[in-house]
Structure 1
Amino acid sequence: MRCSPWSWAPWPCPAPPSRSRPSCSSAGSFGSRSAERLATLRRHQSTGPLMCSEFWDGWFDWWGGVHHTTDVATAAADLDELLAAGASVNIYMFHGGTNFALTNGANQKGRYLPLVTSYDYDAPLDEAGNPTEKFFAFREVIARYAPVPDELPAAAEAAPAFEVPLTPAGAWTDLAGPASTTAQPETFDALGHLSALVRYDAELRDARGGLLVVDEVRDLAWVSVDDRVVGTLSRTRHDRAIRIPDGRTLSILVEDQGRVNYDRRLGEEKGLIGEITLDGAPVTGWRSTPLDVAEIAAEVDAEIDTELDATTGTDAADVLKTGPAAWTSSFTLDAPTDLVLDTMAWSKGYAFVNGFFLGRYWRNGPQRTLSVPAPATREGANRLVVLELENVVEPRAVFVGAPSLGDTEE
């Protein structure tokens, strides 16, 4: 029997037992209906220990979805039912976390769904390590079957709340590495590029526009002609075509939004995949330019006190209209501390504090805040760098007291 790691069915042995190799135990993965799931496991394994190898006490979120939560009492009752049967359990997740930098994965089950930066998972310990109501409910259940320590974790305290203005630091998508010129666009993988973005440029024959068709975009592309944004192509939306105006230079900025992290799509290539045509004619002669967002943020940060200092007097209202732009800010702390950065005044991009890559933000939601761990901050002056891909709605950075991970299904 074979099963997916995302199913509730029991995990199989890799091969039937033999005289030279003893059998191995199977386990189930589930987060509800514990008695029913254990009965299924027992049908496939008539003797031996019962175990839930992943007891799902929450779920992950993807961009454009909702924030997933599970009812505390229901989750605790399912755990109680499992332990009452004498089964062993591995709680997944016990401590939520964060997909810092570009470490988020993605799902693909007919529709590509990149995961958000937060991996809070509605776990007993939240993204910042604070105990939740679910922690105490699970502790009470476990205490019925095994000793638990008397020590309790400290309750969460509100993070410092304050606001600072953002200062424009100019365009950043032209701060790129060397380009590769080939007949067809180079994938991220062929370029050996591990960061988020590659810009593809081609000259249009006779400077004529038309219907641009791409076999596949992995994963999100901003299409421009002569530096004027025309629109986007999204893998999630199954987009393949967009009509472009007359112009000389076609530019397509492609974002790798996260790798599918299971099954047959492991290791798939990113970028513009397959043939690209304009009104049916192939478009060839592409410059593929990788953009390392972490290196660019470091360059912006290093230059803000020197060369860019002369440009920061630019009217922010003008920058708000121009699309991709870098923004910076400074704030002072009495000591390193956990912070929560509200990104709802921005659109889509990447945020850094003192060079530490917090991750991606996107108004598409559900996630509305980014976790800033205390070790990324310092006593005294701290620096924030924001690489915005679309538009900063309001030029300010807002730090709030608690995370906001989005609307739930309730």
Structure 2
Amino acid sequence: MTSFSIEGRDFIINGKKTQIISGAIHYFRVVPEYWRDRLLKLKACGFNTVETYIAWNIHEPKRGQFNFTGIADIVRFIEIAGELDLHVIIRPSPYICAEWDFGGLPSWLLAEDGMKLRCYYQPYLDRVDAYYDVLMPLLVPHLHTNGGPIIAMQVENEYGSYGNDKAYLAYIREGMIKRGINVLLFTSDGPEDHMLQGGMLPCTLPTANFGSKPEEAFAKLSEYEPDRPLMCMEYWNGWFDHWGEEHHVRGFDDVADVLDRILKSGASVNFYMFQGGTNFGFYNGANYFTSYEPTVTSYDYNALLSESGDITDKYLAIRSVISKYADIPEGIMPPSIPKKSYGTVPMTGQARLFGQLEALSKPVKRAYTETMEKLGQDYGFVLYTTHVSGPRPLSKVTVQEVRDRALVYFNGHYEGVIERNKHELTLAIGEGDIALETPLEGASLSLLVENMGRINYGWKMQDPKGITEGVRIERQFLYDWTMHPLPLDDLSGIVYSPLETGAGLQEEPTFYSGSFHVDQPEDTFLNMTGWTKGVVFVNGFNLGRYWEIGPQVTLYVPAPLLRTGDNEIIIFELHGAKNLQVTLQDHPDLG
């Protein structure tokens, strides 16, 4: 049984003064078959602790329906860490940020009129209570006070960057305690006055999040907590990418130097991230500061382990620094996970979206457009269709407002894209401000709206998806809508036809299918060069999004997703492809 206490500035573990050297691995970003591999590599680098968030939205995807299996099996992740004699820090805050969709909050919260997030609003607190009633009993047996590896848990996450409702923070804290959580409780905030003032709580250890200047950060933290241990709860040793940016890289020499200064000071540290992993499916988040910026599928983070778990130069440099302050275990490093190039995979079948609606969706009719959440949908796409009366002269179509990107079809013809950052866009055909001209008999207007990831940080987190208010032609709102929710969580009913000549030059979004043979499943990377924008499924598993604007070019395919024999690839392409084939290669390309 682990003993854990605080004496002045020191953590005392099993009777010994201990610097916590922790690394973040998010169980929900790594396939379960690889959890032990990643945790062993953490320990082999000299770390004594693993930290993870708990993402509410993967555990309660529908209100009252809970999931703790597969990639959501947080208990098994904790058990493996305990088997390897690692301590565990858990961050089960209702909100986690993490560049994860909606900061981990479940999307169904946005279906409730008037919902207020992260404050003392009773309907929100009721939803948290119902979740914690299920989650906390799963964690209690694994607390160090009950013989388990969990030494500390977080109350809320960077709350001072969002608000200052101390009654709310106290409610969350007390809710943990009354459900049996009796380990060290902490908060984490940026080392700035307003952040610490907004996020701290009495009888709760404050910690700081930063990527550089540790002396300044700890000096500020010490102004507010002069007598207890100093800890950097998020040492940002890399960074994440948005679509359309360059891939972020931070040199290992700089990362190692800052770590050395942290450890030399006697403070403890948690690397954010030790391994980043992958935003599989539609779980990527987004930021909004001056414009909407969705995060890419890869969460490589330029961390110590690559997205696929490979040792990096940064890992070796950090292990060298840690060896100055702690013993490095010998002989426990697992072998490298093999990678394989399976070659080129041609697409052999196609199915146009509009012909597959009956197999994919049940239509909903309303006078007005509904958001995705109001339709009971969490992720994916919604197709909105109405009839426009005619005749009308050339007219401007406006979505008020689009969340996040709409493909527009008029009488079945593709007319263009309306994007969130340009939601007043006039649909242009050729040059100038030419818009839509409606014939005497009228025309159908369809908008396929993509949810590209809910905002996970800051003041714009109230981020429902789809069409939030309505669609106008000039100043007139259009009514009488048919909506097809398209979560793309079951593609089994799609009927494919052989590829047509010139099939890549598509008139509407299209599903393409192909297959490849595997003798021995090994990790591989799906190169999407030549494709425009869409989503890829391998053996029914949603790998995530691709987009030609980069920086990400390849999608990571872990070996456990493959099977011996034939394997199926389905690509949902929104615009068209130059060559209807993909390449499975043995290395990533993140731009």
**TM-score, length-normalised on structure 2?**
0.63
Alpha-carbon distance change, 146 to 374 in structure 1, aligned in 2, over 3 angstroms: same
The answer (yes or no) to whether the contact 1:13–1:25 under 8 Å persists in 2 is no
Partner of residue 256, structure 2: 76
3-state SS of paired residue (1:293): coil
3-state SS of paired residue (1:86): coil
Query: Among residues 390, 393, 399, which one is paired with 1:206 in the alignment?
Result: 390
In the alignment, the residues of structure 2 paired with residue 63 and residue 6 of structure 1 have an alpha-carbon distance, to the nearest angstrom, of 27
Alignment of 1:97-112 (within 5 A): 97-112=277-292
Partner of residue 160, structure 1: 341
Alpha-carbon distance change, 394 to 3 in structure 1, aligned in 2, over 3 angstroms: same
Q: CA deviation at 1:266?
A: 3.5
Partner of residue 130, structure 1: 310
Deviates more, 1:383-392 or 1:271-280: 271-280
In the alignment, the residues of structure 2 paired with residue 279 and residue 376 of structure 1 have an alpha-carbon distance, to the nearest angstrom, of 49
In the alignment, the residues of structure 2 paired with residue 245 and residue 78 of structure 1 have an alpha-carbon distance, to the nearest angstrom, of 61
The residue identity in structure 1 corresponding to 2:259 is: L
The residue identity in structure 1 corresponding to 2:254 is: T
Alignment of 1:148-187 (within 5 A): 148-150=328-330, 151-155=332-336, 157-176=338-357, 177-187=361-371
1:95 matches 2:275 = yes
1:404 matches 2:585 = no
In the alignment, the residues of structure 2 paired with residue 81 and residue 237 of structure 1 have an alpha-carbon distance, to the nearest angstrom, of 45
Partner of residue 219, structure 2: 39
In the alignment, the residues of structure 2 paired with residue 398 and residue 42 of structure 1 have an alpha-carbon distance, to the nearest angstrom, of 53
Q: CA deviation at 1:43?
A: 2.5
3-state SS of paired residue (2:256): helix
Partner of residue 229, structure 1: 414
The residue identity in structure 2 corresponding to 1:83 is: L
In the alignment, the residues of structure 1 paired with residue 469 and residue 254 of structure 2 have an alpha-carbon distance, to the nearest angstrom, of 48
In the alignment, the residues of structure 1 paired with residue 423 and residue 329 of structure 2 have an alpha-carbon distance, to the nearest angstrom, of 51
Deviations 1:31-50 (A, max 9, x none): 11222222222223222211
Q: CA deviation at 1:11?
A: 4.4
1:195 matches 2:379 = yes
Q: CA deviation at 1:27?
A: 1.1
Partner of residue 378, structure 1: 563
Alpha-carbon distance change, 145 to 97 in structure 1, aligned in 2, over 3 angstroms: same
Partner of residue 492, structure 2: 298
Q: CA deviation at 1:131?
A: 1.1
The answer (yes or no) to whether the contact 2:529–2:582 under 8 Å persists in 1 is no
> What are the ranges of 5 or more consecutive residues in structure 1 without an aligned counterpart?
18-22
In the alignment, the residues of structure 2 paired with residue 363 and residue 6 of structure 1 have an alpha-carbon distance, to the nearest angstrom, of 36
* Aligned residues with identical type, % of pairs: 35
Partner of residue 58, structure 1: 238
Q: CA deviation at 1:268?
A: 2.6
In the alignment, the residues of structure 2 paired with residue 114 and residue 97 of structure 1 have an alpha-carbon distance, to the nearest angstrom, of 17
In the alignment, the residues of structure 1 paired with residue 402 and residue 418 of structure 2 have an alpha-carbon distance, to the nearest angstrom, of 7
In the alignment, the residues of structure 1 paired with residue 246 and residue 583 of structure 2 have an alpha-carbon distance, to the nearest angstrom, of 23
3-state SS of paired residue (1:27): strand
Query: Among residues 398, 411, 436, which one is paired with 1:244 in the alignment?
Result: 436
The answer (yes or no) to whether the contact 2:160–2:199 under 8 Å persists in 1 is no
Partner of residue 150, structure 2: none
Partner of residue 475, structure 2: 280
The answer (yes or no) to whether the contact 2:338–2:523 under 8 Å persists in 1 is no
The residue identity in structure 2 corresponding to 1:2 is: G
1:24 matches 2:204 = yes
Partner of residue 20, structure 1: none
Q: CA deviation at 1:364?
A: 1.7
The answer (yes or no) to whether the contact 1:131–1:154 under 8 Å persists in 2 is no
In the alignment, the residues of structure 1 paired with residue 189 and residue 415 of structure 2 have an alpha-carbon distance, to the nearest angstrom, of 39
Query: Among residues 493, 511, 525, which one is paired with 1:340 in the alignment?
Result: 525
Q: CA deviation at 1:294?
A: 2.8
In the alignment, the residues of structure 2 paired with residue 215 and residue 359 of structure 1 have an alpha-carbon distance, to the nearest angstrom, of 27
Q: Which has the higher contact order (CA 8 A, sep 6+)?
A: 1
Partner of residue 536, structure 2: 351
Deviations 1:48-81 (A, max 9, x none): 2111010011111111112111111001111111
Deviations 1:186-234 (A, max 9, x none): 1101110123100111111214340112221100001110111111111
In the alignment, the residues of structure 2 paired with residue 365 and residue 207 of structure 1 have an alpha-carbon distance, to the nearest angstrom, of 42
In the alignment, the residues of structure 1 paired with residue 487 and residue 356 of structure 2 have an alpha-carbon distance, to the nearest angstrom, of 9
Deviates more, 1:265-274 or 1:198-207: 265-274
3-state SS of paired residue (1:118): coil
In the alignment, the residues of structure 2 paired with residue 95 and residue 32 of structure 1 have an alpha-carbon distance, to the nearest angstrom, of 19
3-state SS of paired residue (1:287): strand
Q: CA deviation at 1:159?
A: 2.7
Alpha-carbon distance change, 130 to 210 in structure 1, aligned in 2, over 3 angstroms: same
The residue identity in structure 2 corresponding to 1:139 is: R
Alpha-carbon distance change, 213 to 315 in structure 1, aligned in 2, over 3 angstroms: closer
3-state SS of paired residue (2:206): coil
Partner of residue 577, structure 2: 392
> What are the ranges of 5 or more consecutive residues in structure 2 without an aligned counterpart?
1-158, 163-187, 428-434
The answer (yes or no) to whether the contact 2:506–2:575 under 8 Å persists in 1 is no
3-state SS of paired residue (2:246): coil
The answer (yes or no) to whether the contact 1:62–1:113 under 8 Å persists in 2 is yes
The answer (yes or no) to whether the contact 1:342–1:400 under 8 Å persists in 2 is yes
Alpha-carbon distance change, 226 to 287 in structure 1, aligned in 2, over 3 angstroms: same
Deviations 1:127-183 (A, max 9, x none): 111111111111111111111112334456543251121123220244231222222
In the alignment, the residues of structure 2 paired with residue 175 and residue 221 of structure 1 have an alpha-carbon distance, to the nearest angstrom, of 19
- Computed over aligned residues only, the root mean square deviation of the Cα atoms, in angstroms, reads 2.1
3-state SS of paired residue (2:568): strand
The answer (yes or no) to whether the contact 1:168–1:325 under 8 Å persists in 2 is no
In the alignment, the residues of structure 1 paired with residue 338 and residue 201 of structure 2 have an alpha-carbon distance, to the nearest angstrom, of 53
The residue identity in structure 1 corresponding to 2:366 is: T
In the alignment, the residues of structure 1 paired with residue 577 and residue 304 of structure 2 have an alpha-carbon distance, to the nearest angstrom, of 35
The answer (yes or no) to whether the contact 2:281–2:543 under 8 Å persists in 1 is yes
- Give the helix-richer structure, 1 or 2: 2
